[in-house]
Protein backbone atom coordinates (compact mmCIF):
# COMPACT_ATOMS: atom_id res chain seq x y z
CA UNK A 1 0.00 0.00 0.00
CA UNK A 2 1.28 3.45 -0.87
CA UNK A 3 1.55 6.09 1.84
CA UNK A 4 0.24 9.53 1.04
CA UNK A 5 1.13 12.95 2.34
CA UNK A 6 -1.22 15.82 1.53
CA UNK A 7 -0.36 19.44 2.34
CA UNK A 8 -3.12 21.83 3.38
CA UNK A 9 -2.07 25.19 4.81
CA UNK A 10 1.52 23.93 5.26
CA UNK A 11 0.32 21.29 7.74
CA UNK A 12 0.59 17.81 6.22
CA UNK A 13 -2.26 15.32 6.50
CA UNK A 14 -1.15 11.72 6.87
CA UNK A 15 -2.91 8.46 6.14
CA UNK A 16 -3.55 6.16 9.09
CA UNK A 17 -0.63 4.02 7.92
CA UNK A 18 1.75 7.00 7.83
CA UNK A 19 0.48 8.31 11.17
CA UNK A 20 1.04 4.91 12.77
CA UNK A 21 4.60 4.78 11.43
CA UNK A 22 5.27 8.29 12.74
CA UNK A 23 4.04 7.27 16.21
CA UNK A 24 5.74 3.87 16.16
CA UNK A 25 2.42 2.04 16.39
CA UNK A 26 0.55 -0.55 14.37
CA UNK A 27 -2.10 0.79 12.00
CA UNK A 28 -4.63 -1.46 13.77
CA UNK A 29 -3.89 0.28 17.09
CA UNK A 30 -4.89 3.66 15.66
CA UNK A 31 -8.01 2.10 14.14
CA UNK A 32 -8.98 0.57 17.50
CA UNK A 33 -8.37 3.86 19.29
CA UNK A 34 -10.50 5.72 16.75
CA UNK A 35 -13.38 3.28 17.34
CA UNK A 36 -12.98 3.73 21.11
CA UNK A 37 -12.81 7.53 20.92
CA UNK A 38 -9.25 7.71 22.23
CA UNK A 39 -5.93 8.51 20.59
CA UNK A 40 -5.01 11.46 18.40
CA UNK A 41 -7.76 13.41 16.69
CA UNK A 42 -8.38 12.83 13.01
CA UNK A 43 -10.71 13.85 10.22
CA UNK A 44 -12.52 11.72 7.70
CA UNK A 45 -11.72 12.93 4.19
CA UNK A 46 -13.55 11.03 1.48
CA UNK A 47 -14.53 8.49 4.13
CA UNK A 48 -10.91 7.77 5.04
CA UNK A 49 -9.14 8.86 8.22
CA UNK A 50 -6.48 11.55 7.92
CA UNK A 51 -4.25 12.83 10.70
CA UNK A 52 -2.66 16.29 10.74
CA UNK A 53 1.00 16.16 11.66
CA UNK A 54 0.49 19.04 14.10
CA UNK A 55 -2.27 17.06 15.87
CA UNK A 56 0.01 14.03 16.22
CA UNK A 57 2.78 16.22 17.63
CA UNK A 58 0.37 17.86 20.11
CA UNK A 59 -0.98 14.46 21.16
CA UNK A 60 2.55 13.19 21.86
CA UNK A 61 3.50 16.41 23.65
CA UNK A 62 0.49 16.06 25.97
CA UNK A 63 1.73 12.63 27.06
CA UNK A 64 5.13 13.62 28.39
CA UNK A 65 5.72 12.42 31.92
CA UNK A 66 7.74 14.64 34.22
Torsion sign (Cα): 30, 53, 49, 65: positive
What are the pLDDT digits (tens) for 4-59? 656 557 889 999 999 999 999 999 999 999 999 999 999 999 999 999 999 999 99
pTM of the predicted model, to two decimals?
A: 0.82
In whole angstroms, what separates CA 12 from the centre of its chain? 11
Amino acid sequence: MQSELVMINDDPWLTRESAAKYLGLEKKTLANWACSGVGPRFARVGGRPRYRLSDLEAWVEARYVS
